[in-house]
């Protein structure tokens, strides 16, 4: 059914000999049940201010606690989901979970925005801005504590409608970021057409930043481009302090990656928060840091 829908067909033939298809049908067919059964969980990865070292947000990343296959990573089910209308219910579900978490943090005195990945297919749904508004209302979370990261696997189908959705969502106080900046079909087109607040430089450019001159030049240009457009720039995939130092030199605003933490379950995220030292302030390029009072 989902394959027929994907190709705008009235029907399609199910071929049980194609193991690949069978696995795919079974997996996607069980997503609705999985959402009801609470098998979808979110892990959270901290986002850090490059200048001060303080926590500036957390990105929600989906995991599927599958009853027989164990913990599935998003790469194993999201690309398939994105090709069917199931992505809408899935994204609503993720939004709901992430905002309940944001509310929970708020109740503990932790005021950080939570970021949710939203594919452009969802932005094309004219109902989506209202969905965002009602999820915020239901969770009792102000719009400024939600970010959406626009992810893309295919060419943006209707830029005008996408931009219109974004305008309506940003009117709620929600900020929007272009994810995986520098890769994919249309990063520059996105910058031209979409009203956003932030770009997230893809981790493939951030890798070995201190030794790979080409990456350094690309990241430096992306930061300058973002800043010239008045946007905040976040680097993804920061795995070591040398890369972080380079990002600091280049004036990057925020960073995210294994150097700070892997994505964590809400319980582990709480423990990570408790264990971390107070925010630091870098006074020079290298390791001289002073604790912020
Ligand atoms: P993304 O939005 O680019 O998320 C960052 C991915 O990079 C995460 O993988 C994270 O675990 C990984 N990562 C973080 N820091 C590092 C690092 O220092 N080094 C390396 N090598 N990797 C790092 P994950 O969780 O497997 O997510 C993969 C992708 O799945 C995400 O990429 C996002 O595009 C998509 N995704 C995840 N959750 C959702 C969701 O709820 N909705 C939608 N539409 N897509 C989602
Ligand atoms: Ca993301
Ligand atoms: Ca990304």
- Mark the residues whose beta carbon lies below 5 A from ion ligand 2: 117, 149, 179
- The pLDDT assigned to 234 comes to 98
- Residues contacting 285, CB < 8 A, separation 6+: 245, 248, 249
Name the percent of the chain in helix, strand, coil, to the closest 5: 45, 20, 35
Residue position matching structure tokens 């599958």: 66
Pocket test for ligand 1, best of 117, 135, 181, 247 (most atoms within 8 A of CB): 117
Classify residue 147: in a domain, yes or no.
Answer: yes
Classify residue 251: in a domain, yes or no.
Answer: yes
The residue whose CA has the least distance to atom 35 of ligand 1 is 74
- The pLDDT assigned to 255 comes to 98
CB 169 within 8 A of CB 148: yes
For residues 257 and 45, give the distance between their C-alpha atoms in angstroms, rounded to a whole number: 8
CA of 19 to the centre of ligand 2 (A): 31
List the structure tokens of 256.
């995210």
Query: Looking at the 3D structure of the chain, how many domains does it have?
Result: 1
- State the CATH number of the domain containing residue 135: 3.20.20.450
Atom of ligand 1 nearest to the CA of 256: 15
- Residues contacting 17, CB < 8 A, separation 6+: none
Atom of ligand 1 nearest to the CA of 45: 14
Classify residue 28: in a domain, yes or no.
Answer: no
Classify residue 121: in a domain, yes or no.
Answer: yes
**Taking Cα atoms as reference points, which of 171, 157, 163, 168 lies closest to residue 193?**
163
The residue whose CA has the least distance to atom 14 of ligand 1 is 257
Ligand nearest the Cα of residue 97 is 1
CB 271 within 8 A of CB 282: no
How do 146-151 and 232-235 pair as beta strands?
A: unpaired
- The pLDDT assigned to 293 comes to 32
The residue whose CA has the least distance to atom 41 of ligand 1 is 62
Classify residue 156: in a domain, yes or no.
Answer: yes
Pocket test for ligand 1, best of 78, 177, 204 (most atoms within 8 A of CB): 78
Q: Which residues of 25-42 are buried (b: 16+ CB within 10 A; e: fewer)?
A: bebbebbeebbeeebbeb
Classify residue 24: in a domain, yes or no.
Answer: no
pLDDT by residue, tens only, the chain of 293 residues = 655 665 566 666 656 555 556 666 677 778 888 998 999 999 999 999 999 999 999 999 999 999 999 999 999 999 889 888 899 999 999 999 999 999 999 999 999 999 999 999 999 999 999 999 999 999 999 999 999 999 876 667 788 899 999 999 999 999 999 999 998 766 788 888 899 999 999 999 998 898 999 999 999 999 999 999 999 999 999 999 999 999 999 999 999 999 999 999 999 999 999 998 766 655 444 433 333 33
Classify residue 267: in a domain, yes or no.
Answer: yes
- Mark the residues whose beta carbon lies below 5 A from ion ligand 3: 179-180, 236
CA of 150 to the centre of ligand 2 (A): 7
Name the residue range of residue 138's domain: 41-292
- The pLDDT assigned to 8 comes to 62
Atom of ligand 1 nearest to the CA of 87: 44
Classify residue 9: in a domain, yes or no.
Answer: no
- The pLDDT assigned to 23 comes to 65
CA of 187 to the centre of ligand 2 (A): 14
How do 40-49 and 254-255 pair as beta strands?
A: antiparallel
Ligand nearest the Cα of residue 176 is 2
For residues 49 and 252, give the distance between their C-alpha atoms in angstroms, rounded to a whole number: 9
């Amino acid at each position: 059914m989902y394959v027929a829908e994907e190709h705008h067909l009235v029907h399609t033939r199910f071929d049980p000999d194609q193991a690949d298809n069978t696995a795919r049908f079974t997996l996607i067919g069980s997503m609705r049940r999985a959402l009801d059964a609470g098998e979808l969980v979110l892990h959270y990865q901290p986002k850090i201010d490059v200048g001060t070292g303080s926590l500036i947000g957390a990105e929600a990343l989906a995991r599927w606690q599958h009853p027989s296959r164990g913990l599935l990573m998003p790469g194993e089910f999201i690309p398939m989901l994105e090709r069917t209308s199931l992505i809408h219910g899935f994204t609503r579900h993720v939004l709901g979970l992430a905002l309940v978490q944001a509310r929970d943090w708020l109740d503990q005195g932790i005021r950080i925005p939570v970021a949710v990945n939203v594919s452009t297919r969802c932005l094309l749904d004219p109902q989506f801005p209202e969905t965002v508004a009602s999820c915020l209302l239901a969770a009792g979370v102000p719009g400024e504590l939600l970010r959406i990261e626009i992810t893309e696997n295919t060419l943006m189908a209707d830029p005008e409608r996408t931009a219109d959705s974004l305008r309506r969502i940003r009117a709620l106080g929600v900020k929007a970021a272009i994810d995986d900046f520098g890769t994919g079909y249309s990063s520059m087109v996105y910058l031209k057409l979409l009203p956003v607040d932030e770009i997230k430089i893809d981790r493939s450019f951030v890798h070995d930043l201190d030794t790979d001159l080409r990456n350094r030049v690309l990241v430096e240009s992306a930061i300058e481009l973002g800043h010239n457009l008045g946007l905040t720039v976040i680097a993804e995939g920061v795995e070591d302090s040398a890369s972080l130092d380079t990002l600091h030199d280049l004036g990057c605003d925020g960073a995210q990656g294994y150097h700070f933490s892997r994505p964590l379950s809400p319980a582990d995220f709480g423990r990570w928060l408790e264990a971390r030292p107070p925010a630091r302030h870098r006074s020079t390029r290298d390791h001289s840091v002073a604790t912020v009072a």
